Amino acid sequence: MKFRVERDVLAEAVTWVARGLPARPPVPVLAGILMQADDDGTLTLSAFDYEVSARITVAADVAEPGTVLVLGRLLADISRNLPDRPIDVATEGSKVQVTCGSSRFSLLMMPSDDYPTLPTSPEPSGSVDGHVFTQAVAQVSVAADRGDTLPILTGVRVEIEGDRMTLLATDRYRLAMRELHWNPSATDASHVVLIPARTLSETARSLGASGSIDVALGTAAGGDGLVGFEAGRRRTTTRLLDGEYPKVSSIFPTTSETESVVRTHDLVEAVKRVALVAERNTPVRLRFSEGQVAIEAGTGDDAQASEAVEATLTGPEIEIAFNPTYLLDGLGAVGTPFSRISFTQASRPAVLSGQAEEDGEADTSYRYVLMPVRFAS
């Protein structure tokens, strides 16, 4: 195999493919990146660890076609640090020679015959706007569980009905749901899949800038238990989580007694400051009254803090307590100048949604449900 490729092109491609390589692979070959140079002037880089596959095709000046397997993270480090000149890659015996200007590296060739076969290229079931999808995934994945107690809660539930896509995640203390439109290939599309939140977040971030993302579900993804994404010349598949997701839609309150609208940035800053005195696992208390919300933390002999922020109130006054981290996660995900918080009572979940203007309508396409913390009055 022998080819020449631009340094930036190779560095970007290798970095993207290598991002999901396991740090301690169960089998040594899984730490590798498969490089395939073809006569048609393309270079395809692939990685697969039986859970996630990544594949990217870039333009290259191919003198001799061929396939080699080399250590992925090492190739990524090398290609990022080479001078900004064309890179020549050629096989020589059991080594792969990488040359760029006067820099020369000799990499060990790994046995490509032992490398697992990648899932077939997914056939798209539809497409979604890259920016909207990236934002939606970020808004929902904050609520996914980060522990291993209940693996099913580490996923994002993606439900598709026709041209509507609904993303949902919960860790039992909060629940986030985002609805968006997508362009299905079939108008009667209907799917429910559970995608690992961490993988989905990385995929959305890395593909979102491409403008439009093709999504492959069901048998179109290249096999049962897989979901596929493609944008530009980047393709990736992910193994889905197994199991029945808990029925959580009933958690959303159908009515609200009290609603408050507050400037998102002001509330975020105030909660951050007041939470400085909140010991680990202790809540911040919010008292909503006409014209303001008072935020307090700390009790008795401990350090205490309080601050008030302007807010509008509809309905009776209410005092409620939240885990400050969970509250800040929700406020950070809303993405609008104002936030609307709806309550039924101090012991029931509150619903956070965004709105563009103080006296405007709430944007309920994103809702963040937060369980209150009981506190001694």
370's enclosing H/E stretch is strand 363-370
pTM exceeds cut of 0.95: no
Report helix, strand or coil for 96: strand
For 152, counting Cβ atoms within 10 Å of its Cβ (0-12 exposed, 13-18 middle, 19+ buried), the class is: middle
| pLDDT at residue 144 tops 70 | yes
Q: In sequence order, what DSSP letters do the residues of 57-68 get, joined into one string?
A: EEE-EEEE-EEE
Question: CA 159, 16, 52, 44: dihedral to nearest 10 degrees?
Answer: 110
Report helix, strand or coil for 272: helix
Q: What is the mean pLDDT of residues 257-275?
A: 96
Q: In sequence order, what DSSP letters do the residues of 120-134 get, joined into one string?
A: PPPPPSEEEEHHHHH
Q: Rounded mean pLDDT of the chain?
A: 92
Q: Which two tokens stand for residue 145?
A: 């569980």
Q: What is the mean pLDDT of residues 105-131?
A: 90
Per-residue pLDDT reduced to its tens digit, 304-361: 999 999 999 999 999 999 999 999 999 999 999 999 999 998 899 999 999 999 988 8
In whole angstroms, what is the distance from residue 350 CA to residue 369 CA?
A: 6
**C-alpha separations of 180 from 127, 128, 183 in Å:** 12, 9, 10
- In SS3 terms, 175-192 reads as EEEEEEECEECCCCCEEE
Q: What is the mean pLDDT of residues 124-140?
A: 95
pLDDT at 252: 82
Per-residue pLDDT reduced to its tens digit, 211-262: 899 999 877 655 678 999 999 889 999 999 998 888 887 788 888 899 999 9
Residue 164 banded pLDDT, cuts 50, 70, 90:
very high
Report helix, strand or coil for 35: strand
Q: Which two tokens stand for residue 207?
A: 């593909």
Per-residue pLDDT reduced to its tens digit, 36-83: 999 999 999 999 988 899 999 999 999 999 999 999 999 999 999 999
